[in-house]
Amino acid sequence: MKLTKEQQQEIKELQSQDNKTRRIISPGLEKILFEAIPILDHGFVRVIDYMGDDTSIVQAARVSYGKGTKKVSTDSGLIKYLMRHWHSTPFEMCEIKYHIKLPIFIARQWIRHRTANVNEYSARYSILDKEFYLPSKENLAAQSKSNRQGRGDILTGDQANEVLNLLKNDAERTYDNYETMLNQRYDGSTIDENKSGLARELARMNLTLNTYTQWYWKTDLLNLMNFLRLRADSHAQYEIRAYADVMLDTLKKWVPITFEAFMDYRVGGTEVSSKGKKIIKDLISGKKVDIASSGLSKREWNELMNAFDIKEKIIK
């Protein structure tokens, strides 16, 4: 991870502040506020602002049905109830803002979550950092034969080295060409005093997708949990999951009661259709079940059996 001198100074100044406020604060999140948490080879996540905590959720829920506030001892039960019954608006009362540095190809996957306010580093205005994401060898894998958007067997030996060299050489060559078109080096020096550089908005199109970009990403708690439920999942792409795992830890520090309910009901729980519910009831009562009479597709059947660890029932 590499921070510019300006970013390092900004973090130092922000963390040295001793502001007093009447707003609700989260002690756990305050401890890591502004800190750059390293991810991948050059990336990071920073929490730079937030609003509310567990009590904000409880307050919003109770006001919504006219009962005011109650004792803190009942907060956990209420938050679990809200999570269990898919109530959403109380969780929208909390917000958080991140500063994230990530490879462009992950940013393009990430932006599909259209539930946040995003402001990205402008390559029309500034020169992008000379930094590229290169996977570690244990994260180099062949295309999965059963999943069109997943990875299969790990690449090893000469094949892994060849792929890494291709990724590195292509990124460096295109960045060199990017500097040539700009007529300016990354360090700010001019290449040729007698030439004009190509407009930055045009020169950037030559860069590889493993080049790093940065953005501010602000969202509410409900949509953060929706993002994490998908991207911190074991089936998510490794690179975006690395970011989601760090953000999951910030969620725990920010709203610990909500985090516990989220892990229990969203991450650890499962949804069952009416047909699936009948199959589980039949299994509990000792009845024989089979895919032919279940009304489920092969995929639905396998997902249901996997969810309840009934592995001997899985149809290949």
CA distances from 1 to 37, 99, 214, 218, 236 (A): 9, 14, 13, 22, 23
Q: Which residues of 249-262 are buried (b: 16+ CB within 10 A; e: fewer)?
A: bbbbbbbbbbbbbb
The C-alpha atoms of residue 302 and residue 316 are separated, in whole angstroms, by 9
The C-alpha atoms of residue 229 and residue 235 are separated, in whole angstroms, by 11
- pLDDT at position 312, please? 55
The C-alpha atoms of residue 160 and residue 155 are separated, in whole angstroms, by 5
Helix/strand/coil for 125: coil
Written as six digits, the tokens of 71 are 């004792």
Written as six digits, the tokens of 187 are 């360090």
The pTM of this model reads: 0.89
Domains of the chain: 5-129+210-267 (3.30.1360.170), 149-206 (no CATH), 274-313 (no CATH)
The C-alpha atoms of residue 98 and residue 35 are separated, in whole angstroms, by 11
The C-alpha atoms of residue 213 and residue 227 are separated, in whole angstroms, by 20
Contacting residues for 240 by C-beta, under 8 A, at least 6 apart: 106, 109, 110, 231
Rg (CA), the chain: 24
CA angle 256, 259, 262 (to 5 degrees): 155
CA atoms within 13 A on the CB side of 206: 18
CA dihedral defined by 236, 242, 248, 250, rounded to 10 degrees? -160
Check if the beta carbon of residue 247 is closer than 8 Å to that of residue 98: yes
The C-alpha atoms of residue 229 and residue 207 are separated, in whole angstroms, by 31
The C-alpha atoms of residue 263 and residue 33 are separated, in whole angstroms, by 23
Check if the beta carbon of residue 306 is closer than 8 Å to that of residue 314: yes
Contacting residues for 13 by C-beta, under 8 A, at least 6 apart: none
The C-alpha atoms of residue 16 and residue 191 are separated, in whole angstroms, by 40
**How many C-beta neighbours within 10 Å does residue 179 have?**
19
Check if the beta carbon of residue 214 is closer than 8 Å to that of residue 100: yes
- pLDDT at position 241, please? 97
Indicate the length of the chain as a whole number.
316
Q: How far is the first Cα of the chain from the last one, in angstroms, to the nearest whole number?
A: 44
Q: Which residues are catalytic?
A: 231
Q: What is the pLDDT along the chain (316 residues), one digit of tens a residue?
A: 677 788 888 888 888 887 788 889 999 999 999 999 999 999 999 999 999 999 999 999 988 655 555 555 578 999 999 999 999 999 999 999 999 999 999 999 999 999 999 999 999 999 999 999 999 998 988 887 777 777 778 888 889 999 999 999 999 999 999 999 999 998 889 998 999 999 999 999 999 999 999 999 999 999 999 999 999 998 899 999 999 999 999 999 999 999 999 999 999 999 899 999 999 999 899 888 889 888 999 989 999 998 898 875 555 4
